[in-house]
Amino acid sequence: MYFKSLLLLLLSFSLYFSAHAQKEYINREVAQKNYEGYMLMQDSNYTAALKLLDEALTEDPEAFFIYQNRAICKLNLKDTLGAIADFKKNIELEPQNAETKYALGNIYKNQLDSLNASYYFRQAIDQADAEFSQVKLLYMNNFVGHVYRLEQEWDSALEYYNRVKNYTPEDASVFINSAVCYFQLDSLDRFCADLERAFVLGGNVNCIALKAYCHGCNHLLDERGGTTDTLSMMLDTRLRGIIPDTVFFQARNEAFSSFTNLPPSKKVTVYYNKYWQMCLPKEAVYYRESFWSPHLNYFGGNFTDYYANGTIYATGRIESILINGAYKSYYRNGQIKVSGQFAKGLPVGKWNWYLDDGRPDFEVEFTMGDYVIHLLNTENLDYQVNSGTGEFKLTLANWDGFTFVLKGEYEDGKRTGNWQFLQNGEKVISEQYRKGEFKRGYIVSPLGQVSINSTYLDATFLAPPYLKQIRNLYFSSEEAVKYYPFVRTSLF
């Protein structure tokens, strides 16, 4: 959006301006050129308008409002750096102009510079008067809150999310955002209040999640409309790192008594659907045989994963909820697919990936959380790296059409250009490299693209994705929850 609403018209030849501006008077020639430039901008004749505005500012370089018009003109002429310079000059001469700060914040947001975007949005929010657009205020508060949340500055994020609630009290998304913040601040009562409100408003919060921490969902069904989604697959992604992983550890004090005299570990069989959610046996595409630790509420010791027909899918070992030691996975025909070593949950050393006919596909060397990819299949058209230079696309997993893909580029053996991680064709992470060094990047979040200051594409993204899915203890339905009574999903 190019902010034509920021334009200030001068309909008389001499005007006095508000006290907060440094300049108080403008002569008639400058005012006339500004007005004529504005009219040309309304006809999208930005080149001619820019010429007039340049002339006006040459005659009077302190005419602060003209910098706004010229900045908009430059934006439309694709001169973003020039627009930024003019908007900043306007702020220098007119420090309280919230519209200009909103415009600057938007430019930086579009450049994926969330730090500067947040900086100017915060100023615009603080300086906005009663006539300032409520839509813009909602947009800015939401964005700033989201940036703070991703930076794990929970208190600061809540300051802006609570304002958003006042603007859009029927929006489930903001209640999920604030619930995440309250959880991280150990404010479980407020966490539950916001989680329940999001559920009532139709957000992706299911009964399994509400039973884990709060008071279930039965008393909320009428207000929601009598229906509820019970599928863990539909749990909002912002909550997936909270609900499955920390139910045991974040329990209320009064619940701990139920963990005394727990039964010993026992061997179990757990069935999974095509998305690696725990399901009923009749729905199974895979299953796992291993020991279950009631104390850790997770698998322990050696495990074997199978295809539904009994063919081995993978083997490995879990120690203190982390995979450790040798790991191997197999195709349905019995050929080895992946082999490597884990150390405390992270892939280490050299890992090998194979084609289903036994030929090498690619290998990865892991060192201190970093990695180097060596492409071995010369027939794969997605592998265009020769002598350490070129592009590639790796399909890391395919769950019945749901794919996990890593794309990247090397130059002389070093990361360069754009690297991306995609899930089912949708970009999740994008990063830029030069000579092996991370330069900038962003993740795709519920509020759009958010800048990151260091790589997210670490070694964990090359580990088999299903292992993380299993770790999160997702269920396909409430019926599946009941089928596995040894898995703790609700403590009170």
pLDDT digits 0-9 by tens, 335-346: 999 999 998 888
Contacts of 43 (CB under 8 A, 6+ apart): none
pLDDT given for residue 236 in this prediction:
75
Contact 363, 375 (CB under 8 A): no
Q: What tokens does 126 get?
A: 């603080």
Helical packing angle, 154-167 and 172-184, nearest 10°: 160
pLDDT of residue 149: 87
Which tokens sit at 387? Answer: 């002598």
DSSP classification of residue 382:
T
E strands present in 186-335: 266-272, 286-293, 298-307, 312-319, 322-323, 325-330
Percentages (nearest 5) of helix, strand, coil residues in the chain: 40, 25, 35
* The pLDDT of residue 263: 55
Confidence of residue 12 (pLDDT cuts 50, 70, 90): very low
Q: pLDDT value at position 241?
A: 60
Residue recorded with tokens 């999001």: 198
Give yes or no for a contact between 392 and 384, defined as CB atoms under 8 angstroms apart: yes
Lowest-confidence range among 151-160, 222-231, 389-398?
222-231
User: E-strand spans in 188-297?
Assistant: 266-272, 286-293
pLDDT tens, position by position, 156-167:
999 999 999 998
Q: Please give the structure tokens belonging to residue 196.
A: 């329940």
> Token pair for residue 296?
């850790």
Q: What are phi and psi of 86, to 5 degrees?
A: -70, -40
Mean pLDDT comparison of 218-222, 419-423, 443-447, highest-scoring range: 419-423
Give the span between the Cα atoms of 389 and 375, in whole angstroms.
Answer: 11
> The whole model's pTM is what?
0.51
434 has which bridge partners?
Answer: 437
Which residues have CB under 8 Å from 247's CB, separation 6+? 212, 213, 297, 488, 489, 490, 491
Q: How far apart are CA 326 and CA 340, in angstroms?
A: 6
Q: Spell 429-447 as b/e; 16+ CB within 10 A means b.
A: bbbbbeeeebeebbbbeeb
346-367 pLDDT tens trace: 899 999 999 999 999 999 999 8
Written as six digits, the tokens of 441 are 């990047």
pLDDT digits (tens, 9 = 90+) for 16-52: 233 334 444 567 777 777 777 778 878 788 888 888 7
Domains and CATH numbers, the chain: 4-96 (1.25.40.10), 296-471 (no CATH)
